[in-house]
Structure 1
């Protein structure tokens, strides 16, 4: 199967041919099916498979049985920064900062609550090794925050927490379970959650089946936390995120018979490279139908929130069949969202 070279860009900003209301991406999410803890072990999670129109119910540990010789699995190897910092204001009131991205040396874009109670110039000593100074208001709860510390990662190990989504209300006793087993550079504000299911043994089995594994990096940012707040999906504005596709990965993509993306962030990194003509940079790619996929053939992903940009991407990939698959998963009591089960689907 031929792949587009990054030099052969496709129009990533092609508009909808007609308005699409956000309610087209709504479904009833049973609260009791929102997974509060990851599966133990990782590959014990369930996997709904739909590669040819026939649904199968399997386990993630069986992923290799769907890998063919010549397939390429692409994973996002970003590591989650334990960047949620809770503290008390001088008044005694609770506050928190969620570090999103370093804009320049020691100055971070961050979500701040309550932002209005921390005006520009406010300094907070979180500990002897960590001080926060609040600066410009960027809107939507975002601020510039100067982070003063001799060793950021060491300070966050003491004062920071994993930035779990708000629908996970129970304590995570092992923070490593919100990291993939192949995580590398700490830079993301959320995990690429499809990868949480995978183990070295599962990946080795995929290679033994004739596949290969390659890495990309997409730093997961604000849009993971933000629902789509406009009625017409085409009016939604994505915040930019940094991505990088190594040359070796792109060469493997071009040789592959099928590209299996592990997670929506891997999809966005690969399709951004094809669409922009650059293997690294910033992307605000919002994948929505109709979208001319240039790279990804199969998607391994979690079940996503109603009215989210992630669900819009799944809709672009498999069309309205997602409704049937989600209804089946709910009827079969699959666990949903970040710590939930997975699905393996082919592009339609």
Structure 2
């Protein structure tokens, strides 16, 4: 007979209250001054992230994710004037992307979306997309973007896109670059590898 304690797998069993005032709205400066909890099988203690090199042992493996967050949240409207918000998930082919769309239930195949430039917009391009179909796995939509010849969607995101910060961060656009790791190189992520945000160039 097993002596293991029965686990409550219901979602409600893991609810907890997190006061709004305890959610950091701005990143700590410098990055490596953030707090770090060190836990082993018997004890735990607190230190700062800059202590990490002293904590690593010979043979430890440190894996860094060098992905770079794209400004993949777009705002726009349908031809009816209804407001639209999309979050790009991944490119498919030939300027087609899989994206989450709000409000999703109102977007049938063939719907045209015209996107609004952000505050940094300085060009003459227009950005439109057409809903092709629904992805059953994610509930998202496959969007075919109508792009100027020779221009990729990634190139236009700086003019039309917004970095998709977590919804609990309110004053987010003020620290866009701080939402990237110092070693980020490969564009394509829709969320930062947050553990890496605490590393500095040093």
TM-score by length of 2: 0.81
Shift of 1:24: 4.0
SS, match of residue 173 in structure 1: helix
Structure 1 residue runs of 5 or longer lacking an equivalent are 1-16, 202-348
Q: CA deviation at 1:26?
A: 2.9
Corresponding residue of 1:179 = 180
C-alpha deviation, 1:129, in angstroms: 4.2
Q: Displacement, 1:162?
A: 0.5
Corresponding residue SS for 2:135: strand
Q: Which residue of the partner structure matches residue 11 of structure 1? A: none
Once residues 84 and 169 of structure 1 are traced to their aligned partners in structure 2, the CA distance between those partners, rounded to angstroms, is: 15
Task: Name the counterpart of 2:145.
Answer: 147
Alignment of 1:134-213 (within 5 A): 134-139=131-136, 141-149=139-147, 150-201=151-202
Q: CA deviation at 1:183?
A: 1.4
Q: Secondary structure at the match of 1:164?
A: coil
The structural deviation recorded for 1:153 is 2.0
Determine which structure has greater relative contact order: mean sequence separation of CA pairs < 8 Å that are 6+ residues apart, divided by chain length. Answer: 1
Deviation per residue, 1:255-305 (Å, 9 max, x gap): xxxxxxxxxxxxxxxxxxxxxxxxxxxxxxxxxxxxxxxxxxxxxxxxxxx
Q: Any idea what SS the aligned residue of 2:178 has?
A: helix
The 1:45–1:172 alpha-carbon spacing in structure 2 relative to 1, beyond 3 Å, is: farther
Residue segments in structure 2 that go unaligned for 5+ positions in a row: 1-5, 118-124
Q: Is the 8 A contact 1:179 1:196 kept in 2?
A: yes
1:94 aligns with 2:83: yes
Provide the aligned length of Structure 1 versus Structure 2: 185
CA contact (8 A) 2:78 2:111 kept: no
Match for 2:17 among 12, 23, 28? 28
Q: What are the residue-to-residue correspondences of 1:31-70 with 2, within 5 Å?
A: 31-70=20-59
Q: Pick from 129, 132, 139 the counterpart of residue 129 of structure 2.
A: 132
In 2, Cα distance between the equivalents of 1:27 and 1:53? 25
Question: 1:136 offset after TM fit, Å?
Answer: 0.9
**Secondary structure, in 3 states, of the residue corresponding to 1:156?**
helix
Q: Determine which structure has the larger helix proportion and give its number.
A: 1
Partners of 1:38 and 1:123 lie apart in 2 by 38
Relative distance call for 1:77 and 1:24 in structure 2 (3 A) is farther
Map of 2:64 onto structure 1:
75
